Amino acid sequence: MADPLYPYGNGSQLMASVTSLASTLQQQLADALTAALPDAGTADPLLRRSDRADFQANGVLALAKKLKGNPRELASQVTAALPAGGPVKDIEVSGPGFLNITLTDRAITETLAARASDGEGRLGVPSAADPGTTVIDYAQPNVAKEMHVGHLRSAVIGDAMVRILEFTGENVVRRHHIGDWGTQFGMLIQYLTEHPHELDRRDGADDGEAAMSSLNRLYKASRVLFDSDEEFKARSRDRVVALQAGDPQTLAMWQRFVDESKIYFYSVFDKLDMDIHDPDVVGESGYNDMLEETCRILEETGVAVRSEGALCVFFDDVKGPDGNKVPLIVKKTNGGYGYAATDLSAIRDRVRNLKADSLVYVVDARQSLHFKMVFETARRAGWLGEGVKAHQLAFGTVLGKDGKPFKTREGETVRLVDLLDEAIDRATAVVREKAAKVGLTEEEIVENGRYVGIGAVKYADLSTSAVRDYKFDLDQMVSLNGDTSVYLQYAYARIRSILRKAGDARPVAHPELELAPAERALGLHLDQFGEVLAEVAAGYEPHKLAAYLYQLASLYTTFYDQCHVLSEDNPAEVVENRLFLCDLTARTLHQGMALLGIRTPERL
Ligand code: ARG
C-alpha cells in the first residue's frame, strides 16, 4: 500500500530540529534566576504545564527559602531579568512565589510552523548527534511450540521500542533469541526416530500453520513420554548430546523443525504487520560454540564455582524459602549447558562484536530473577563494563476477562493466531458499519479491518505500563470510545477528511492571529512531541507515547468543538491557521501511531 508516512519519514528530509517552548522557557528562567541571584549556582526553575496559565515555575520558592530571601521579591527580580522579545507574554507572581507564565500567541504559532516545515514526519524532533548502539532482544518464540500471548507482548513492545529508538537516532540491532536448542529437541527428535510413521503422517502439512500445529502436537506427545518413561528420558538426553556434538542426521532433523517453525513465526509476525529479518534471528543455538569458553572463563576467574557437580554462581541476596542461597546454574551436573550459559554468551557477543552500549531485553517479568543474576554475573566477569547498560524491559501477564491468566475453556494456552484472527473479524465488523457512509470499497473494508484489529491488540498492550498485567478484552479493545487505537484512528481519519473538504483553502500558519484557549492548549501539546519521545526512549516506556497521543486526540476534539474550522463566517486567515493546526495534529498522530507500529488509514 502506498502510504508515504509509514513506517515513518526519516533520513533524507530537512531535519531542522526545533527547540520546544518548554525548553526555551526553562533555559531562560534558569538564566534569569542566576542573573538575579549570582550566588545561587545553577538552579532548576521546576517548570510544569499548568491549568491556570500555560506554565508554572515552582523552583523560585524553594530557592528563596534556601537563601532565606523574600520569594515575591525574588520572583519579580527574575521576571525583570528575562530577555525582551522572548516567548513570555505575562508572568504573574502567585501565592508565596510561584510564577504563572503565559506565552505569546505568536511564539506558539511560530514554533509550530517551524515544526511543520521540518520533513513530513520529523516534526522538528532532534536526532541524536552522538548516538549509541542498543541491542534489543525481543520477539523470541520457541521452535516447535505454538506462539501465545506472552510472545505477543514481547513482539509488540519490542517493535515499538525499535521504532522509537531509531527515530531518535540510536543505532539499533535487533536480536530474536528464539528457543531453538536444548533438551526439548533431544526429546522431540528421539520421539520421531522411534515413531517414524508420525513423520510420514505429517508430510502433507506443508503450510506453516498446519506444520506448526502438528509439530506442537508431537512436541506434547514426546513430553508425555519423557516425563513418564525413564528409559526414553535417558535416550533423549543422549540425543541432545548428539545434537550438540553435531551428529549429521540429528542435526538435519533439527534444522527441519527450525525452518518449519520460522516459516510459521514469520507468518504470524506478518499478520502483526511487523518486519522481522531473518539475519536478526539468532536463537539459542547461535551461541553453542561459545558455551564452553564462557563456562571456562567463569570457572577460571572464580566467578562460578563447582557445587554438587554443577557449575554455579552465588549471590548474597538470592535465597530460597529455606534460607539457602539459590545459584545461577551455568553448567548442569550432567555436563549440559542451560539457558543462563546461552544468555551470558550472548552478552559477550553483543558487547564485544556488536559494540552495544545498551542491552535491552523485552521479556516476561517472571524471568526477572534470571536476568538479575545473569547481569550481575556478567558484571563480575567483566563482560558488562561500567559504560554498558543492561535493562530488562519486563512485562506482566495477559489475563482473560475473568482476571486469571489467559486460557481456553479447556485450560489450554490460547493460540496467538486465533486471537489475532478474532480481533481482525471484530474490527472488520466495526469498520463495515460505517463503511457505506464513508464510501469504502470492499477491499478498503478488509484492509482497514486488519489495521484496526491489529492496532487494537497492539494499543491495548502498549497503553498500560509494561510491568502491569492487563486484561485481553476484545470488546473493549475495538470500542470507539475511550483510550483505544480505533478512537485515535478515527480522530486521524476525521482530520484528513476535513483537510480534503477544505478545497482551495490550505493549511497556513498566521503568527499574527490571536489564539482561542483550545487552540493554545492543542498547540502547546503538539510542541511537546519530541520531549515525550525522548522520555519514552530514555526510560523504555512506550505507554507514555500512547498517553500523549490519546491526550492529543482529546485536545483536538475540544478544539474542534469550540473552534469552527471551515465556517463561512471565518476570515480566510483563521480558516488557514485552523487547517494548519489540523494538519499538524494529523501528522503528529500519524507519526506517533507509526512509532507504536499502528497504521492510520486515510478514510475510516
Ligand atoms: N524464548 C524465551 C521464552 O519464550 C524468551 C527468550 C528471552 N530472551 C533471552 N535472551 N533470554 O520465554
Checking phi first, is residue 124 left (phi over 0); if not, alpha (psi -120 to 50) or beta? left
Q: 278 CA to middle of ligand 1, Å?
A: 17
Q: Is 551 helix (H, G, I), strand (E, B) or coil?
A: helix
Amino acid letter for position 138: Y
By most ligand atoms within 8 Å of CB, the mutation choice from 157, 177, 216 for ligand 1 is 177
Amino acid letter for position 356: A
| Contact of 469 with 399, CB cutoff 8 Å | yes
Residue with cell 553448567: 331
The CA angle 541-545-549, to the nearest 5 degrees, is 160
- CA-nearest residue, atom 5 of ligand 1: 140
By most ligand atoms within 8 Å of CB, the mutation choice from 367, 375, 398 for ligand 1 is 367
Q: Which of 283, 286, 340 is nearest to 143 (CA)?
A: 283
Q: What are phi and psi of 196, to 5 degrees?
A: -60, -30
Instruction: Quick: pLDDT tens for 226-237.
Output: 999 999 999 999
- CA-nearest residue, atom 9 of ligand 1: 177
By most ligand atoms within 8 Å of CB, the mutation choice from 140, 265, 281, 369 for ligand 1 is 140
Beta bridge partners of 56: 48, 100
Residue 205 is predicted with a pLDDT of: 58
Query: Which three cell numbers, joined as nine digits, stand for 414?
Result: 490460547
Stretches where the chain sits below pLDDT 70 are 1-15, 40, 201-206
ipTM: 0.99
Q: What are phi and psi of 222, to 5 degrees?
A: -70, -35
Atom of ligand 1 nearest to the CA of 370: 11
Q: Distance of CA 471 to CAs 405, 406, 427, 475, Å?
A: 9, 8, 18, 11
CATH number for the domain formed by residue range(s) 131-151+173-280: 3.40.50.620
Beta bridge partners of 313: 328
pTM of the full structure: 0.94
Q: 196 CA to middle of ligand 1, Å?
A: 31
Amino acid letter for position 109: T
Q: Tell me: cis bond preceding 7? Omega within 30 of 0 counts.
A: yes
Q: Listing from the earlier edge strand, what are the strands of the sheet with 55-57?
A: 47-49, 55-57, 98-103, 88-94
Q: 286 CA to middle of ligand 1, Å?
A: 14
71, containing H or E segment: helix 71-81
By most ligand atoms within 8 Å of CB, the mutation choice from 174, 262, 363 for ligand 1 is 363
Name every residue whose Cβ is closer than 8 Å to that of residue 383 and which is 6 or more positions away in sequence: 344, 347, 348, 351, 352
Q: 31 CA to middle of ligand 1, Å?
A: 49
- Ligand 1 pocket by Cβ (under 6 Å): 137, 140, 142, 177, 179, 343, 361, 363
- CA-nearest residue, atom 4 of ligand 1: 141
Name every residue whose Cβ is closer than 8 Å to that of residue 414 and which is 6 or more positions away in sequence: 148, 149, 406, 407, 408
CATH number for the domain formed by residue range(s) 21-108: 3.30.1360.70
Atom of ligand 1 nearest to the CA of 346: 10
Q: Distance of CA 463 to CAs 342, 456, 528, 547, 550, Å?
A: 32, 10, 18, 7, 9
Query: Which three cell numbers, joined as nine digits, stand for 418?
Result: 486465533
Q: Which CATH class is domain 416-595?
A: mainly alpha
Q: 179 CA to middle of ligand 1, Å?
A: 7
Residue with cell 483553502: 505
Q: 567 CA to middle of ligand 1, Å?
A: 56
72, containing H or E segment: helix 71-81
**Crossing angle of helices 291-300 and 339-348, rounded to 10°:** 90
- CA-nearest residue, atom 11 of ligand 1: 343
Instruction: Quick: pLDDT tens for 523-559.
Output: 999 999 999 999 999 999 999 999 999 999 999 999 9
Q: Which of 145, 213, 138 is nearest to 184 (CA)?
A: 145
Atom of ligand 1 nearest to the CA of 364: 12
Query: Which three cell numbers, joined as nine digits, stand for 591?
Result: 507519526
| Contact of 37 with 74, CB cutoff 8 Å | yes
Map out the domains of the chain as residue ranges.
21-108, 131-151+173-280, 416-595
Q: 534 CA to middle of ligand 1, Å?
A: 27
Residue 78 is predicted with a pLDDT of: 83
